[in-house]
């Protein structure tokens, strides 16, 4: 039997997520197999790997949106998620999309204003979602995740639908917010450059297992043209190729 615990009192202060021998099956299909995975508060971890290797399933387990078939998971109760699509509610103004169930609290609008200020969209407080660009909508989604001051933030390919310029802008925004609030951050991405720009640690999944981990000991902001960056990228590409062979 699996055991999934959303609580912090049984963890050390610095650990915001811990999976031990976690498995996930859908019928006869094994998606995750004996996965051990830990995230420290203040750490940025990128999950990469071929499509269908369990990256999003692992993220959904951390978010409490899926239950493990076997093993044990302990995850901070204060966890937020940013999905690939912003998932804004068209009938609610931007500030209410940030707060959702908290929108009726007495100081709700001012609390939403503070979160939107963090992502550079205070002027969109009373706008409708339909009036936002794709990048602005994703910033609102980040503000919604940030609003509760999470211990752990999970990003499921949140930049993949954006143009290159907007993607780089929101990557910089996420790093700025992470540097200020120091939550644990897990991002699923297919983009090795993005993983190297953002992460302290890159984890490659293949066939439901973690097959390789790489530390990224490069100073931020990272120069994608530097020899050190490209040496790490070549090594990751080699490991990625080995994982699918």
Assigned CATH for 3-88+151-244: 3.40.50.300
Residue 163 is predicted with a pLDDT of 84
Residue 7 is predicted with a pLDDT of 39
Q: What is the pLDDT of residues 176-199, one digit of tens each?
A: 999 999 999 999 998 999 999 999
Q: How confident is the model at residue 6 (pLDDT cuts 50, 70, 90)?
A: very low
pTM of the model: 0.89
174/94 Cα distance (integer angstroms): 19
Q: Residue 243 pLDDT > 80, yes or no? A: no
Judged by DSSP in three states, 237 sits in: helix
Residues 6+ apart with CB under 8 A from 102: 108, 111, 147
Look up residue 192 and give its two tokens.
Answer: 């090795």
Instruction: Report the Cα 137 to chain-centroid distance in Å.
Output: 17
**Where are any strands of DSSP class E within the chain?**
3-6, 15-26, 29-40, 44-48, 70-75, 79-82, 152-156, 184-188, 201-206, 209-215
Q: Which is it for strands 70-75 and 79-82: parallel, antiparallel or unpaired?
A: unpaired
Query: What is the chain's alpha carbon radius of gyration, rounded to the nearest angstrom?
Result: 18
Residue 102 is predicted with a pLDDT of 75
Domain ranges of the chain: 3-88+151-244
Q: Which of 173, 146, 147, 145 is nearest to 159 (CA)?
A: 173
Q: What is the pLDDT of residues 80-125, one digit of tens each?
A: 999 988 999 999 999 999 998 776 777 878 888 999 999 999 999 9
The DSSP bridge partners found for residue 180 are none
Residue 245 is predicted with a pLDDT of 63
Average of per-residue pLDDT across 46-52: 90
Q: Which CA distances in Å does 38 have to 26, 159, 199, 215?
A: 24, 24, 14, 14
């Amino acid at each position: 039997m699996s055991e999934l615990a959303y609580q912090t009192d049984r963890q050390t202060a610095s650990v915001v997520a811990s999976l031990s021998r976690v498995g996930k099956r859908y019928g006869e299909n094994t998606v995750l197999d004996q996965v051990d995975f830990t995230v420290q508060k203040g750490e940025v971890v990128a999950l990469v790997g071929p499509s269908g290797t369990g990256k999003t399933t692992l993220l959904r387990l951390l978010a409490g949106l899926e239950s493990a078939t076997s093993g044990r998971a302990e995850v901070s109760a204060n966890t937020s998620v940013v999905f690939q699509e912003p998932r804004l509610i068209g009938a609610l103004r931007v500030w209410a999309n940030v707060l959702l169930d908290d929108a009726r609290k007495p100081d709700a609008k001012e609390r939403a204003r503070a979160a939107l200020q963090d992502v550079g969209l205070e002027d969109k407080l009373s706008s409708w979602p339909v009036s936002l660009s794709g990048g602005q909508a994703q910033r609102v989604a980040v503000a919604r995740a940030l609003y509760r001051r999470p211990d752990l933030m999970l990003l499921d390919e949140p930049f993949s639908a954006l143009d290159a310029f907007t993607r780089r802008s929101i990557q910089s925004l996420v790093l700025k917010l992470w540097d200020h609030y120091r939550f644990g951050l897990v991002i699923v991405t297919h983009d090795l450059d993005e993983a190297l720009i953002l992460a302290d640690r890159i984890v490659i999944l293949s066939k439901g297992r973690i097959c390789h981990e790489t530390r990224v000991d490069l100073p931020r902001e990272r120069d994608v043209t530097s020899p050190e960056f490209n040496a790490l990228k070549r090594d990751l590409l080699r490991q990625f190729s080995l994982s699918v062979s």
